[in-house]
Amino acid sequence: MRVIKVENYDEMSRVAANIISAQVVLKPTSVLGLATGSTPIGAYAQLVQWYKEGYLDFSQVITLNLDEYSGLAEGHVQSYRYFMDTQLFNHVNIEKANTHVPNSMAEDIAKECERYDALFEEADGIDLQLLGLGNNGHIGFNEPDDAFAGGTHQVKLHEMTIKANSILFSEEEEVPQYAITVGMKNIMKAKRVLLIVGSENKKEILEKALYGPITPLVPASILQLHPHLDVITV
């Protein structure tokens, strides 16, 4: 594990974007595992800027996002598909068909989870997995639980997560109660993992995740077992 300590959110975004862009430059056919939330917004903006300046080419890149809320209609402004389109995909030369987000509107959720896991197999795994950290230690939407979940699955979101994520909704009641998330297996199978933490108030949970016991009660603690984990933190 390598922990990169930075001064502030902007520096975190720039260092993260440097690592992601190095991955894409060195392997133009990279498979990127991508995250949503407020943390990666700055890194995505930096990637868009470098693309516009001609330094990056996403034409052969494949992306697999971590998660999606259940029950938000296609194109909903709070959906993670909308987030990814507007923060990154619409502004670079990535093929939309190569960008994947779980389809939470699928009629058969179990089938959708299987389909999503199969995409990881087809892509031959993730080259670089970007992760944010939930206030309760979740990664993707893998909430604290009695056991680590392996495959893509539907989860009931914890109160704390609903509260934290409600800042992007006009009312807390609007935050979906359920989501689909990639499980630990495909996160941990990524060749490299990049965990970014951009706010001081996550210090305690980050400490637990990186140095505490490996437990599903702190889902991110499983990352201690990853052979190539970089953490960028303020």
Closer of 18 and 166 to ligand GLP (Cβ): 166
Q: Which residues make up the interface to ligand GLP (CB under 6 A)? A: 35-39, 66-67, 132-134, 140-141, 161, 165
Q: Which CB atom, from 59 or from 112, has the smaller least distance to ligand GLP?
A: 112
Closest separation between CB of residue 187 and ligand GLP, Å? 11
Active site residue 143: yes
Contact present, 43 and 132 (Cβ < 8 Å): no
> Closest approach of Cβ 41 to ligand GLP, in Å?
8
Instruction: Name the closest residue to ligand GLP (Cβ).
Output: 132
Closest contact distance (angstroms) between CB of 131 and ligand GLP is: 6
142 is catalytic: no
What contacts 13, CB < 8 A, 6 or more positions away?
40, 41, 42, 43, 45, 46, 198
Reply yes or no on whether 67 is catalytic: yes
| Closest CB 196 distance from ligand GLP, rounded Å | 8
Which own/partner contact pairs does 47-51 have at CB distance under 8 Å and 24+ positions apart? Answer: 47/17, 47/20, 47/21, 47/88, 47/92, 48/88, 48/91, 48/92, 50/17, 50/21, 51/91, 51/92, 51/93
Query: Who's near 196: CB < 8 A, 6+ residues apart?
Result: 12, 16, 39, 40, 43, 130, 131, 132, 133, 231, 232, 233
Q: Which of 98, 103, 135, 136 does the annotation list as catalytic? A: 136
Give 142's DSSP letter: B
Nearer to ligand GLP, 35 or 48 (CB): 35
- C-beta of 1 vs 168, nearer to ligand GLP: 168
Bin 75: left if φ > 0, else alpha if -120 < ψ < 50, else beta: left
Tell me whether residue 226 is one of the annotated catalytic residues.
no
Decide whether 60 or 136 has the Cβ nearer to ligand GLP. Answer: 136
Torsion angle defined by CA atoms of residues 102, 10, 127 and 97, in that order, rounded to the nearest 10 degrees: 40
Q: How far apart are CA 203 and CA 201, in angstroms?
A: 6
- Which positions are annotated as active-site residues? 67, 136, 138, 143
